[in-house]
Structure 1
Amino acid sequence: MTTEETIEKYTSTNTDHAETHILVIRLSAMGDVAITVPVLRTFRTTYPSVKLTVLTRKFFGPMFSDIANLEVYHADVTGRHKGIIGLTRLFNELRKLNIDAVADLHNVLRSNVLKTMFSLKGTKVVQIDKGREEKKALTRANNKVFEPLKTTHQRYADVFEALGYPIDLTHHKFPQKQRLTPNIVSLTQNSTKKWLGIAPFAQYESKTYPLELMVKVIEELDKQDQFEIFLFGGGKRETDILNNIGSKYNNVVNVAGKLPFEDELKLIGNLDAMLSMDSGNAHLAAMYGVPTITLWGVTHPYTGFMPFGQPSAYAILPNLAKYDQIPTSVYGNKVPSGYERVMYSITPEVVLEVLSTL
């Protein structure tokens, strides 16, 4: 579908100007986009007649497939919507959708440019308060204020409240499990064991469980013969590593590179549990209500990125007595000297013990 056809489609479905139309901006990253899903589900059940359009990257579109009266508008930030000229083009496209208000859940340079353009045309825009000062206090080495911050889910909800649409996330309802496609059935062989997803990678090494320790976890789980284990990752390097691991065990299947993203989401939604880093896959699993166990390195759940609806017992932390500067950053991009082996303080036995509670 061309851009012009997309605009015509959106415009034709929004002819009733009495219906409020909110543009929701969240361009990246995958985990942050996934965090919007429970919030938008709750919004939908609270305000069923309000139209939502989510501006995000095309790849993330399938995340929103279970939410009624919601459209996804693709932001081509590396192509036709790149730079100030591209953002002006994007704004002109979005104006044709008859947007009544804008919920900016991103608050970065691109969304700030769009904010200015919408505001100049009289459209109300509310941006997320990321709590930057609180996060600085939580992550600094000295005089650290070690207290749990507001969750990112709630920060998103606060944006809608400021627009005049308060929502209560305790009223959220997860969708029913989706039907498996033939591709998924072929991959899973309809195994009758419990389905466990394992996503062993993260953006930064500082919050990635050492591969040799994860292999020990997988090896023991394979011996127990209770789980069918599905390995998740992306990119050639990760795919090659996961292929190598999967080839060594009877109950382990590498998913990376074998399913389109839409099918991968369906598989995740049908898991019995997910074991993940503090990463996007944890939020993908949690948005379907899958029990999600997370391993944390130099980051910490107090920063507000605990997967939605998950108990604190599912967050496995390193030795905080030894590594008392944790969290050293919100995203894992700052590693003080001596903190390079933080993750080694989480033993495979501890991981297996938490998995045994499922």
Structure 2
Amino acid sequence: MTQNLGGILLIRMTSLGDIILTLPAIRAIRQHFPLHRVTMLTSLEYIDLVSEIPYLDEIITLDRRGKEPAETIRVVRQLRQKKFDLVIDLHGKFRTRLLSGLSGGRQRIGSRRDIYPPNTHAIDDHFQLLSTIGIQANDKSLEFYVTEANQCFAQELLNEKLLLGDQVKVGIFPGARWDYKCWPADRFAEVADRIGKQYNAAILLFGGPAEADLVSQVRDSMQADPILFDTNLQIGQLAALISFCDQFVSNDTGPTHIAVALGIPTIVLFGATNHLKFGPLDPMHTVIRHGNSLDRSKGNDMMRLITTDEVWKIAEGKLNSLDK
């Protein structure tokens, strides 16, 4: 495709981890079309994340919280006013295909989950889509953008909690959007206690808005006292706190992708989701998974196959390699 283009619309509505995995494609699009206006359509709940992507010129949000169909009509009208020359649907669901079709874009391409090989990485899937319009992308590295304001917020909060600057800090995020992705709370607690005792480490215990009870379960199962944080942190605030960690241990969930993108050595616990498609590519991170089933009904059983000893062994190896 030549550069005879005006505005470009990218569509990726959700979710946190999936949006992060689109960043290599977004970067490649900007590099291929450096002079064109690039707009992204996403869900309002992710504006905190998307607004910091430096490759975008404009963001259009759709509020999915019970405002249909008026909200969709509003967004479609806004899209059509822009008269996009190219629309790239990086999501590939019925809703996003519909929005792409209604956008009025002159040329439209979109992801098709049913045609991608099952074990190719999501980043490669996006690159394959871009290749259909002549964009040859190779850089699979992830990025995350922590603002100065969020960095200051995190530093002040850590100072309030009396965390020493040179103390080892290990982040634990025991939750996930779906229960079948979650490792048992008592096992997170056991690993956290072993790390804390062996390395005099501060355990930073995080959770999402719906995970206060789960965070409490981990805390109550621990012998030592972890450092607790508000479960209603904004995405940018959470990312800033994670950036201070020396290691991160979590399930396959959005904050895990944040840690990976920030370059924090991460241990990711996978069950009935495909680590080959969604897991970290950089060898500094480690995936633990037993079995190959993608049957969600088997997810909890698969997660229970992961032992505390194997997680501890990997955590110990990573922490021993720190230049402290």
Q: Same fold (TM over 0.5)?
A: yes
Deviation sequence 1:184-205 (CA, Å, 0-9, x none)? 2233225322332211112333
Residue in structure 2 matching 1:334, options 256, 274, 297: 297
Alpha-carbon contact 2:272-2:302 (below 8 Å) kept: yes
Distance 1:226 1:165, change over 3 A: farther
What code does the residue aligned with 2:264 have? V
Separation in 2, partners of 1:202, 1:258: 15
Q: CA deviation at 1:175?
A: 6.1
Structure 1 residues 98 and 44, CA, compared in 2 at 3 Å: closer, same or farther?
Answer: same
**What is the count of residue pairs matched by the alignment?**
309
2:202 aligned counterpart, secondary structure: strand
CA–CA separation in structure 2 for the residues paired with 1:32 and 1:176: 16
1:280 aligned to 2:262?
Answer: no
Determine the structure 1 residue equivalent to 2:282.
Answer: 310
Matching of residue 95 in structure 1 with residue 61 in structure 2: no
> TM-score, structure 1 length as denominator?
0.76
Question: Is 1:352 the counterpart of 2:301 in the alignment?
Answer: no
Q: Is the contact made by 2:245 and 2:264 (CA closer than 8 Å) also made in structure 1?
A: yes
TM-score when normalising by structure 2: 0.83
Mapped to 2, the partners of 1:305 and 1:176 lie a distance apart of 20
Verify the 8 A CA contact 2:80 2:105 in the aligned structure 1: no
Equivalent residue for 2:108? Answer: 125
Report the Cα offset of residue 257 of structure 1: 2.5
Q: Matches of 1:175 and 1:235 in 2, distance apart?
A: 21
SS of the equivalent of 1:356 reads: helix
Q: Is 1:158 aligned to 2:144, yes or no?
A: no
Q: Provide the C-alpha distance between the structure 1 equivalents of 2:105 and 2:155, rounded to a whole number of angstroms.
A: 51
Of the three residues 164, 188, 203, the one matched with 1:191 is: 164
C-alpha contact 2:86 2:108 (8 A) present in aligned 1: yes
CA distance in 2: counterparts of 1:243 and 1:187, whole angstroms: 20
Q: Counterpart of 2:175 in 1: which secondary structure?
A: coil
Query: What CA distance in whole angstroms lies between the structure 2 residues aligned with 1:204 and 1:257?
Result: 17
Please say if residues 10 and 87 of structure 2, whose CA atoms lie closer than 8 Å, have aligned partners that are also in contact: yes
In the alignment, which residue of structure 2 is the partner of 1:33? 19
Identity between Structure 1 and Structure 2 (%): 23
Post-superposition offset of 1:59: 2.1
The corresponding residue for 2:48 is 62
Which deviations, in whole Å up to 9, do the C-alpha atoms of 1:190-237 show, x marking residues without a partner? 53223322111123333211111111111111212343322222125x
Q: Deviations 1:52-104 (Å, cap 9, x if unpaired)?
A: 21111122122230414432211123355x23x54333111012234221111
CA contact (8 A) 2:9 2:39 kept: yes
Q: CA-to-partner distance for each residue in 1:215-266, whole Å, 9 max, x for gaps?
A: 1111111212343322222125x22442464476666222243633221122
Q: Which residue of 2 aligns with 1:110?
A: 95
1:328-357: per-residue Cα shift (whole Å, max 9, x none)? 24xxx333xxx7532222111110111122
1:78 aligns with 2:65: yes
Shift of 1:315: 0.5
Question: Are 2:268 and 1:268 aligned?
Answer: no
Shift of 1:289: 2.6
Distance in 1 (CA, whole Å) between partners of 2:217 and 2:306 is 24
Which residue does 1:5 correspond to in 2?
none
- What SS does the corresponding residue of 1:169 show, helix, strand or coil? coil
Matches within 5 A, 1:233-248: 233-236=207-210, 238-243=211-216, 245-246=218-219
Q: Which residue of 2 aligns with 1:292?
A: 266
**Aligned-partner SS, 2:74:** helix
**RMSD, aligned α-carbons:** 2.9
Give 5+ residue unaligned stretches, structure 2.
Answer: 319-324
Paired position in structure 2 for 1:214: 188
Any stretches of 5+ residues in structure 1 without a counterpart? 1-16, 136-148, 321-325
Distance 1:48 1:195 in 2: 39
Checking the alignment, whether the CA contact within 8 Å between 1:291 and 1:310 is kept in structure 2 is no
Measure how far apart 1:169 and its partner are. 2.1
Q: Which residue of 1 aligns with 2:39?
A: 53
Q: Kindly state the Cα deviation for residue 153 of structure 1 after the two structures are TM-superposed.
A: 1.1
SS in 1 for 2:22: helix
